[in-house]
Amino acid sequence: MLGTALCLSLLVFWLTHLPPNLEKLAKSQGSARMSDAEVASWLERSGFDRPLPVLYGEWLGVLPRADCGHCGVMQGEWGQSTVFRQPVSAVILRSLAATGWLMLWVMAVMVPTALALGALAGMREGSRTDRTISVATILTAATPEYVSGVVLVALFASATAGLSPLLHEAGWIERRTLFQGTASGAMTRITFWNFALPVATIALYGTGYIARITRASMAEVMAQPYIRTARLKGAGLARIVLVHALRNALVAPVTVILLQLPWLLNGVVIVETLFAYKGFGWTLVQAAGNNDIALLLGCSVVAVTLVLATQALSDLAYRALNPRLRVG
Amino acid sequence: MESLGWLEILGRMALRFAPVWAGLALILGTGFALRGRLGLAGRLFGNGIGLAGLTIVLFWLLTALFADLIATHDPLAQLSGLKNAAPGSPAPGSSYPFYLLGGDSLARDSFSRMVAGARRVLAIAPAATLCAMAVGVLLGLPAGYVGGRLDAALSFLANLVLAFPVILLFYLLVTPEIRETALPRTFAALLFLFPLLFLILLWHSRYRTRARPWAVGMIPILGLGLWMWSGLALDADPLGVWRLEPGLLTVFVAVVFVNAPTAFRIVRGLALDLRARDYVAAARTRGEGPWFIMLWEILPNARGPLIVDACLRVGYTTILLGTLGFFGLGVSPESPDWGSTINDGRRFLAIYPHAAVVPALALMSLVLGLNLLADALREESLHD
């Protein structure tokens, strides 16, 4: 895993330090009308003309730097962001806190809904409930965040279309729109009205996916001999589902939910851009869009660490939940 | 002139889609009549979900095909006074008297842009999917069949790409700066080689001992393949027929790159599962080479899950292309593809939602159709 992390960071480092990127950095730090010779001399003064392995070693903190000795990512020195004119670590910590709240609410909405829907559908395979829920989950799983976000805003947060004008005319709401179309207010105070749409947008896509996994897993468990035994003993459906089936049916979905975490990151980037919520995803877009190399590297390290950590965590959870894997 | 009501808009749109309805009737009618002889595809007609999925997918395919007939305006033409016009607004002095689904923030026709976007999306997504599947098959089969160190090395590489959040990868790979380097061309040259290599190996492993059929197949494969490859990947086609604009090339490469590792994992898993079968052992006893066994024994028997996966993957690729457009990566700002149009429309989303909602619903319905189709195919192939 350490090897993977090193390979990945080297890859990102190489991609962000390609000559055109450095040239753009020079021009944004110096002046936009620098000649090629001036760019070269700026890069030389800033030390970017040295070979890539040396730069990477210094960034990592393995090789000593001229001004501060060993000061790289491993020592907690993440460099200076050129867009925000602040230390990268401060920017990332702040944005991660904002995204943390978003993720928390997404999880709080998504996980119980998805598990309940999936269990309900898988309980009696082929029933009318199952068909309805299945089609609904296929629908939400076919709707990427930038589509559902747009549709939700048009439905609930537009002054000219959807529900808001109707509700406003009927005198049910004071404001022009039911929900707010941007979440920038949620940076200081989270309310239901400014946070519901971003949370719903991310949760919708994931809910469909997790519910489908839960349904498949539940249907499989319900076909097991021990469920038939319980039924023959005269146990009611509620008891069978809650006591006998649910625990075994949740092994697969829980691992999937954990694996979803990094994948939620995609949704977070889209939703934070769409709703102007200044979290991790928004920061990543700013860093990449403005060629802020230090910040982009920092964001990549965080994102990649998150992915690798959740992969390890989901392995652990699978072992903990599945008694068959507990040898000994 | 008066603006149109919603009923009239729907009626006029249905009329514009006339070629699509005709094509749908023809294809579905023929399919229904021959359903007994079509095998798996024929059984879709007895499956409600499958039929719905097939209809939606065919609808968009035909729309892409007949885009020029259906579109009411040039997707890039701007008409003065129709900026953010409401759906059904009259458009005097143009090729069609109305903007059926309104105008966008640059006074272009939303309906025509949606139709033109369908052509663009359906030109890239299936091709990118096939390319990714070719990579997945050519690397996944040996990884699963041979195993050992080869498997370990290839799996490590696949996991490396998979550990990247997709958007980060896009932001690193699809920037204007990257396009100045040789990176996209190198990647493209490598990735586009896989479909060609696949066909060569497929033909060679089967006919290597018989000179005549070998030459009959190999000459067109090599000639046509190298011609297309040099044009598409290297932009060096001497006749100038095959060409990809640099922006599109980067987008294509990025999408294939993201899709290939998951395709690899699926093929590898299938090969692992199938390599212990009797027919593989029989082929080995006959003295067949490893590529013959992989491509002519294992691959045909893995087709069911692969077809389902391809269906889902085209949908996923459509979503990825939309994501790229949404962040304005790789495509020209004029491009009518759905993602860029949503991105353009979202700035005025709260006031003029139609410009973004139209392509959003189009994209959603296409992906939904593909997912329904995949679901039905999976269900039907389980009955085999």
pLDDT in tens, B1-55: 677 788 888 888 888 898 999 999 999 989 888 888 887 778 888 888 889 999 9
Closest-CA distance of chain B to residue A235, Å: 31
Domain contains B334? no
pLDDT score of A227: 87
Top residue of B157, B169, B173, B326 to mutate, by most chain A CBs within 10 Å, is B326
Domain contains B289? yes
Considering B309, B327, B345, which residue would you say is the last residue of a domain?
B327
If asked whether residues B161 and B277 sit together in one domain, one would say yes
Q: What is the DSSP letter of B104?
A: -
If asked whether residues B261 and B361 sit together in one domain, one would say no
If asked whether residues B160 and B212 sit together in one domain, one would say yes
Domain contains B225? yes
Distances (CA, A) of B85 to A31, B185, B352, B379: 42, 42, 8, 45
Please judge whether B371 and A7 are an interchain contact, meaning their C-beta atoms are less than 8 angstroms apart: no
If asked whether residues B132 and B190 sit together in one domain, one would say yes
CA A170 from chain centre, in angstroms, equals 38
If asked whether residues B13 and B97 sit together in one domain, one would say yes
Which residues in B lie closer than 8 A to residue A289 (C-beta atoms)? 171
pLDDT in tens, chain A (328 residues): 778 888 888 888 888 888 888 888 877 777 777 788 888 888 887 777 788 888 888 888 777 777 777 777 777 777 888 888 888 888 999 999 999 899 899 989 998 999 899 888 888 877 888 888 988 888 888 888 899 988 888 888 877 777 777 777 777 777 777 777 777 777 777 778 888 889 999 998 888 888 888 888 888 888 888 888 888 988 888 888 888 888 888 877 877 777 777 677 888 899 998 888 888 999 998 888 888 888 988 888 888 888 888 888 877 877 777 766 665 4
pLDDT band of residue B259 (cuts 50, 70, 90) is very high
pLDDT in tens, B367-380: 999 999 998 888 88
Q: Is B379 on the interface with A (CB under 8 A)?
A: no
Domain contains B128? yes
pLDDT score of B351: 80
Average pLDDT over residues B201-214: 90
Domain contains B69? yes
If asked whether residues B96 and B164 sit together in one domain, one would say no
Closest-CA distance of chain A to residue B75, Å: 21
B296's tokens:
């002519």
Closest CA in chain B for residue A23? B177
If asked whether residues B193 and B112 sit together in one domain, one would say no
If asked whether residues B145 and B279 sit together in one domain, one would say yes
Specify the CATH number for the domain of residue B197.
Answer: 1.10.3720
If asked whether residues B74 and B163 sit together in one domain, one would say no
The average confidence (pLDDT) of chain B is 87
Higher pLDDT, B287 or A173: B287
Q: Nearest Cβ partner of B371 from A138, A177, A281?
A: A138
Which residues in A lie closer than 8 A to residue B326 (C-beta atoms)? 146, 270, 273
Please judge whether B323 and A270 are an interchain contact, meaning their C-beta atoms are less than 8 angstroms apart: yes
What values do phi and psi take at A182, rounded to 5? -125, 155
Domains of chain A in sequence order: 2-75 (no CATH), 89-327 (1.10.3720.10)
Domain contains B24? yes
3-state secondary structure of B205: helix
Please judge whether A265 and B183 are an interchain contact, meaning their C-beta atoms are less than 8 angstroms apart: no
Q: What's the total number of domains in chain B?
A: 2
* CB B367, CB A176: distance < 8 Å: no
Residues in Cβ contact with B273 at an 8 Å cutoff, skipping those fewer than 6 apart: B144
Domain contains B332? no
Average pLDDT over residues B203-228: 90
Give the rounded percent of residues in chain B with a pLDDT score beyond 90: 39
pLDDT score of B1: 64
> HEC string of chain A?
CHHHHHHHHHHHHHHHCCHHHHHHHHHHHCCCCCCHHHHHHHHHHHCCCCCHHHHHHHHHCCCCECCCECCCHHHCCCCEECCCCEEHHHHHHHHHHHHHHHHHHHHHHHHHHHHHHHHHHHHCCCCHHHHHHHHHHHHHHCCCHHHHHHHHHHHHCCCCCCCHHHHHHCCCCCCCCCCCCCCHHHHCCCCHHHHHHHHHHHHHHHHHHHHHHHHHHHHHHHCCHHHHHHHHCCCCHHHHHHHHHHHHHCHHHHHHHHHHHHHHHHHHHHHHHHCCCCCHHHHHHHHHHCCCHHHHHHHHHHHHHHHHHHHHHHHHHHHHHCHHHCCC
Residues in Cβ contact with A327 at an 8 Å cutoff, skipping those fewer than 6 apart: none
Closest CA in chain A for residue B346? A150
Whether the predicted pLDDT of B384 surpasses 70: no
Domain contains B337? no
Which residues in B lie closer than 8 A to residue A281 (C-beta atoms)? 167
Element (H, E) at B26: helix B18-33
User: Between residues 152 and 191 of chain B, which touch chain A (CB distance below 8 Å)?
Assistant: 156, 159-160, 163-168, 171-173, 175, 177-178, 180-181, 183
Residue B202 is part of which domain span? 123-327
pLDDT score of A328: 47
Closest CA in chain B for residue A280? B168
If asked whether residues B197 and B287 sit together in one domain, one would say yes
If asked whether residues B100 and B127 sit together in one domain, one would say no
Would residue B81 be called left, alpha or beta, if left means φ above 0 and alpha means ψ between -120 and 50 degrees? left
pLDDT in tens, B52-71: 999 999 999 999 999 888 88
3-state secondary structure of B203: helix
Q: Nearest Cβ partner of A308 from B163, B181, B356?
A: B163
pLDDT score of A109: 92
pLDDT score of B25: 92
If asked whether residues B52 and B200 sit together in one domain, one would say no
